[in-house]
Structure 1
Amino acid sequence: MATHLKNLSDFSHTTIPNGADYKIAIVVAEWNAKITGALYQGAFDTLIKHGVKEENVISMPVPGSFELTSAAEILLTKNNGLDAVICLGCVIQGDTKHFDFICDAVANGVTNVSIKHSKPVIFGVLTTNDEQQAIDRAGGKHGNKGDEAAITALKMAHFSASI
């Protein structure tokens, strides 16, 4: 469904598992900090709201979205107790191909880390044409992608634990 028709923070159509038994890491890019800070706050608050204990949320900043993949890899390699890793970032289209390379690398990297470790690694990266679109998806009129990433982490951690 097109984002303009959907609120990223509306979960009325789904059941959300309780997160009391889960340990979840949030890796957040510092680049575009105004946006990623809002994404982080949404993810953190949503995890707490759904039962994840504050001490079971590991928060780690990284310089930019490109570094999200290696941070998730390091966390899952060194911390076997994690049930999921949420990767939060924001890449805004510019005048060069840099946008395409970063977005592609991060999306593929997150997928590969998840497959390698058989753990949910959640792609919570905004890839927008301009700053206003990012604001609209980081707590603005389209909700918060951070909320969506946290719910996805809970659902996938529950899925993994249920198998």
Structure 2
Amino acid sequence: MSNSPGSVPANLNGDGIRVGVVQARFNEEITNGLWAACCSELLRLGVLNEDILHITVPGAMEIPIALQRLAFSGEFDALVALGAVVKGDTYHFEIVCAESARGISSVALAHDVPVVNMVLTTYTEDQAIERIEDKGVDAARAAVEMGNLMMTLDDNLPGADDEVEDDE
């Protein structure tokens, strides 16, 4: 894709990018693989080991509150949610998928920090296993790109990094 006037090219240089990663332990074989691929790619892109915080939570429903705490800290340029929800025989799958996704998205919008949602939602464990490597890498690349994009916008748009003030 060529750069046109006024465009902002993708920047995958992880130098100086601080990333918080929240990993669900449920379906741990899958989520450990996602984390390994994500961490490896973050380091390959130039994110320093000391600029990565990795924490784990019990499952996908607990990811949003942990992300929110990280977002509140103001210490991260991007956050990543890693998890795996595999369909079972009950409606619980739909609730977990929808509510974790809603919570993850709300953190990004409420705190003005990019949050990469890489909670796999699959019909079978095999489908999730097939996606581990690619999706872990995708999560890292999206986090670095979005962290850089937000910094570029902060530097180039008037008022982009200003806090939104409440009308009281």
The question of 1:137 aligning with 2:131 is answered yes
| Residue of 141, 152, 167 corresponding to 1:151 | 141
Q: Which has the larger radius of gyration?
A: 2
The residue number in structure 2 matching 1:69 is 64
Whether the 8 Å contact between 2:60 and 2:96 is mirrored in structure 1 is yes
The residue number in structure 1 matching 2:78 is 84
Quote the Cα distance in structure 2 between the aligned partners of 1:16 and 1:118. 19
Letter in 1 for 2:56: P
SS at match of 1:137: helix
Whether the 8 Å contact between 2:11 and 2:149 is mirrored in structure 1 is no
The residue number in structure 2 matching 1:24 is 19
Letter in 2 for 1:47: L
The residue number in structure 2 matching 1:8 is none
Quote the Cα distance in structure 2 between the aligned partners of 1:50 and 1:16. 10
How far apart are 1:73 and its partner, in Å? 0.3
Letter in 2 for 1:30: R
How far apart are 1:69 and its partner, in Å? 0.5
Quote the Cα distance in structure 2 between the aligned partners of 1:43 and 1:60. 13
Letter in 2 for 1:137: R
Letter in 1 for 2:146: M
Count of residue pairs the alignment pairs up: 145
Deviation per CA, 1:108-137, whole angstroms, max 9, x where unpaired? 111110000000011001000001001100
| Residue of 105, 111, 120 corresponding to 2:114 | 120
**Structure 2 unmatched runs, 5+:** 1-8, 154-168
| Residue of 18, 22, 41 corresponding to 1:46 | 41
SS at match of 1:138: helix
Whether the 8 Å contact between 1:20 and 1:53 is mirrored in structure 2 is yes
Percentage identity across paired residues of the two chains: 34
How far apart are 1:84 and its partner, in Å? 0.7
How far apart are 1:16 and its partner, in Å? 4.6
Quote the Cα distance in structure 2 between the aligned partners of 1:131 and 1:116. 33
The residue number in structure 1 matching 2:97 is 103
What's the TM-score, normalizing by structure 2? 0.84
The residue number in structure 1 matching 2:5 is none
What's the TM-score, normalizing by structure 1? 0.86
